[in-house]
């Protein structure tokens, strides 16, 4: 497990580096993000297979690994500008699965620790519910951006309360021993801190780019108009015409234009 945590840390650092490189309009930034998404997908695939071999059935952890694998693949395809039908539904199902898993964990941990230390139980419950809300906000962003923003703000409030409470109550007594809530959660050996880090980075990125403090991720594969059309399709602002979105028609026409001009210039 520690080896996976080391890989998570390194990949997160690379993800941040790739994001800043992309925002600085370096084309290799998106390539770094693509490779990181692939690496995350491979790790989740390995963990899913090992969990399946150990349990001989798909457990809650197996569903979590599978959902994270699907999300990693979707982000990989997105970074390569590859889109396929009903991707938003696959994205939504995976996000809902993670939300349900962490809500169940929140209830289970709360019931377990409440008789021992109610403060610790509430802090753990709040932290895991915040992950669940982050996942729901991520899913709703495709279908209802306004509601997703409010849910994202609520999750940020909860996670802020978790950190403040964890720092303020830094010595919690359990069976005669003193612990911090951060150490207790680390002992669960799940993906809480990984998801928390990724969701916080995602929220920070959305907040800073929407306010104009930071530029959006850059890719020179297609004109910026293409990415605006993709965003309108993903957020539900545009409906498909004849089974195709505008960005799909734009991509087809643009690829044909490039191919025609490359062939013409090469003659």
pLDDT at 230: 59
pLDDT at 256: 59
pLDDT at 189: 83
Lowest-confidence segment of 53-62, 99-108, 162-171 by average pLDDT: 53-62
pLDDT at 267: 47
Output the six-digit token pair for 71: 């999300």
For the residues 205-214, what does the mean pLDDT come to?
67
Q: Nearest 5 degrees, angle CA 187-CA 191-CA 193?
A: 75
Alpha-carbon distance of 65 to 167, in angstroms, equals 30
**Which residues lie closer than 8 Å to 247 by C-beta, 6 or more apart?**
83, 226, 229, 230, 232, 233
Query: Quick check: 166 and 119 in contact, CB under 8 A?
Result: no
Residue-range domain boundaries for the chain = 1-84, 85-190, 222-267
pLDDT over 90 percentage in the chain: 33
The position carrying tokens 């620790």 is 113
Query: Could you tell me which of 246, 255, 251, 245 has the C-alpha nearest to residue 87?
Result: 245
Alpha-carbon distance of 130 to 92, in angstroms, equals 18
pLDDT at 263: 47
Structure pTM? 0.76
Local structure of 173: helix, strand or coil: strand
pLDDT at 199: 87
């Amino acid at each position: 497990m520690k080896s996976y945590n080391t890989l998570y840390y390194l990949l997160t650092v690379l993800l941040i580096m790739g994001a800043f490189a992309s925002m600085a309009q370096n084309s290799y930034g998106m390539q770094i993000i693509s490779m990181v998404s692939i690496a995350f997908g491979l790790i989740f695939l390995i963990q899913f297979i090992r969990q399946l071999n150990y349990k001989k059935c798909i457990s809650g952890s197996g569903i979590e690994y599978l959902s994270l694998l699907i999300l990693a693949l979707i982000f990989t395809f997105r970074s390569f500008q590859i889109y396929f039908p009903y991707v938003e539904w696959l994205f939504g199902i995976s996000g809902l699965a993670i939300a349900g898993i962490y809500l169940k964990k929140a209830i289970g941990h709360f019931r377990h620790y409440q008789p021992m230390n109610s403060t610790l139980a509430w802090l753990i419950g709040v932290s895991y519910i915040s992950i669940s809300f982050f996942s729901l906000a991520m899913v709703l962003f495709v279908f209802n951006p306004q509601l997703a923003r409010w849910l994202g703000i609520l999750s940020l409030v909860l996670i802020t309360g978790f950190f403040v409470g964890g720092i303020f109550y830094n010595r919690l007594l359990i069976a005669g021993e003193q612990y911090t809530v951060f150490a207790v959660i680390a002992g669960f050996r799940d993906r809480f801190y990984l998801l928390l880090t990724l969701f916080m980075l995602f929220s920070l990125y959305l907040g800073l780019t929407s306010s104009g403090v930071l530029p959006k991720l850059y890719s020179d594969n297609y004109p910026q108009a293409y990415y605006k059309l993709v965003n309108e399709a993903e957020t539900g602002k545009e409906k498909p015409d004849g089974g195709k979105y505008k960005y799909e028609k734009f991509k087809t026409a643009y690829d044909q234009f490039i191919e025609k001009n490359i062939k013409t210039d090469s003659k």
